[in-house]
Structure 1
Amino acid sequence: MSGGAMNGGDHRLLLAEPESDVGGVVLDAALAGFVDVGIRRTTMNDIARRAGLGRATIYRRYPDKDAVVEAVLLREMRRFVQWLDERVDHITDPAEQVVECYVAVVGGLRRHSLLNRLMAVEPDDWLPALTADWGGVLAVARGYLAEKLRGHQSAGRLGEFDPEPVAEVFVRLAHSMMLTPTGCIPESDDARTRAFARAHLVPVVTG
């Protein structure tokens, strides 16, 4: 998940882009292969077979497997953010939005089929990618959350503070919970995760 498209840390990359029918079929086929056997064992021939397309058709859109991997991961991030927006965008109270955003992110990452599969079958490849190489992804996530906090500030629902470091605290906590879930911070039960967020995270935002 350390693709070059994420290295700039621009959360606007999470906005949906038009996707051709063929491109969607290719990415769906690649995703199915990655979930079934992992990225390393999925070849361009496998992707073509699953998609029912010729290799030449795929190579016209994606020059190599790395380009397919990056496109799949970027689309997964976009889908995750769209799902998250559906969960939290209607909440106007900043404290409750913070709580539900944290619960959704922790639970969503815990249940993410591709992420779980990669960590199970290719941990040696993906643990470095999810730690030292994930700075760009964390920056994207920080920008996404900081933008929501700025929206509350503009609406007069939050006081004045720099939302970037606050957003980074939340993002790094969620990242840590994804990598090492075992501890005293609840992550496997939404009700307990919600209570933790309300008691310990909301004060960081509301003061």
Structure 2
Amino acid sequence: MTPIRHNGSDRSDRSDRSDRSDRSDRSDRSDSDPVLDAVRDCVLAVGVRRTTLTDVARRAGVSRMTLYRRWPDVRSLVGDLMTREWIAVAVGAMPEHRPGSNARTLIVDGLVAGVRAFRAHPLFRKIVDVDPELLLPYVLDRRGASQEALLSLLADHLHEGHADGSVRAGHTERQARSLLLVVQSFTLSLRTMTEEDDPELDSEAFLAELRTTLERTLTP
């Protein structure tokens, strides 16, 4: 979840433009980028704080200078890794259009599946367990690239829902942001509320509650 925007001051706006410019100046990050694959292996093995650019370069089979031309430090590299991984999870969770299904059903199914997939994702679990402070800025201070991508994805589906009548009319961007706030809280904090030995309070019970919440929020 690399940073895209600080909401607030002119200074943060300038920082955002600089961040976006810096990101666009780097070479393309494809899903098969060997450097991002290498840093993923490093983080899964030892966590972010113990990962070094030397370790990543060695695993990727490139020089440290090659990395420095693209990323100034490990955190920026891990940021791009998180962006790649989180966007892939979010996009992969959204179901294909099915005959007879409406946009609201696809949104709800996708968001519930997304929460489940995020919580099971090995990189997400490693960061939450070992380096949770990496996620705090995107919860408390700013939106990141993966959050922006998910908002765009949600907005597209909400527009479809407004058009087919399955989603209540409303400000599309506000609705998308509200949905993201809900699913983020379930993704990040669910384990603080669950009792896995109690079927009435286990993860699946809460995901069913999330489904109900989303359905009632979106139904006209």
Q: Check whether TM > 0.5.
A: yes
Matches within 5 A, 1:21-170: 24-85=33-94, 88-91=95-98, 92-123=101-132, 125-126=133-134, 128-136=136-144, 138=147, 140-170=149-179
Unaligned runs of 5+ in 2: 8-19, 21-26, 195-199
* Equivalent residue pairs, number: 193
Q: Match for 1:70: what amino acid? A: G
Q: Match for 2:113: what amino acid? A: A
* Matched residue, 1:7: 5
Question: Relative to structure 1, is the Cα distance of residues 199 and 120 closer, same or farther in structure 2, using a 3 angstrom cutoff?
Answer: closer
What are the superposed Cα offsets for residues 12-69 of structure 1, whole Å, 9 maximum, x if unpaired?
x9xxx95469x81111001111111111110010001111222223233334333322
Q: Match for 1:45: what amino acid? A: T
* Matched residue, 2:193: 183
Question: Relative to structure 1, is the Cα distance of residues 156 and 31 closer, same or farther in structure 2, using a 3 angstrom cutoff?
Answer: same
CA distance, structure 2, for counterparts of residue 199 and residue 115 of structure 1: 25
CA distance, structure 2, for counterparts of residue 183 and residue 156 of structure 1: 34
TM-score by length of 2: 0.72
Q: Match for 1:201: what amino acid? A: L
Question: Relative to structure 1, is the Cα distance of residues 177 and 160 closer, same or farther in structure 2, using a 3 angstrom cutoff?
Answer: closer
CA distance, structure 2, for counterparts of residue 64 and residue 20 of structure 1: 20
What is the CA-CA distance between 1:127 and the residue it aligns to?
5.2
What are the superposed Cα offsets for residues 61-112 of structure 1, whole Å, 9 maximum, x if unpaired?
3343333222212211221233123xx2324313321331222121012112
Unaligned runs of 5+ in 1: none
Q: Match for 1:118: what amino acid? A: I
Checking the alignment, whether the CA contact within 8 Å between 2:107 and 2:157 is kept in structure 1 is no
TM-score by length of 1: 0.76
SS of residue matched to 1:131: helix
Checking the alignment, whether the CA contact within 8 Å between 2:112 and 2:211 is kept in structure 1 is no
Q: Match for 2:193: what amino acid? A: G
SS of residue matched to 1:41: coil
Q: Higher RCO, 1 or 2 (CA under 8 Å, sep at least 6)?
A: 1
Deviates more, 1:161-170 or 1:69-78: 161-170
CA distance, structure 1, for counterparts of residue 30 and residue 174 of structure 2: 38
Question: Relative to structure 1, is the Cα distance of residues 168 and 115 closer, same or farther in structure 2, using a 3 angstrom cutoff?
Answer: same
How much is the aligned-residue C-alpha RMSD, in angstroms? 3.1
Question: Relative to structure 1, is the Cα distance of residues 146 and 8 closer, same or farther in structure 2, using a 3 angstrom cutoff?
Answer: farther
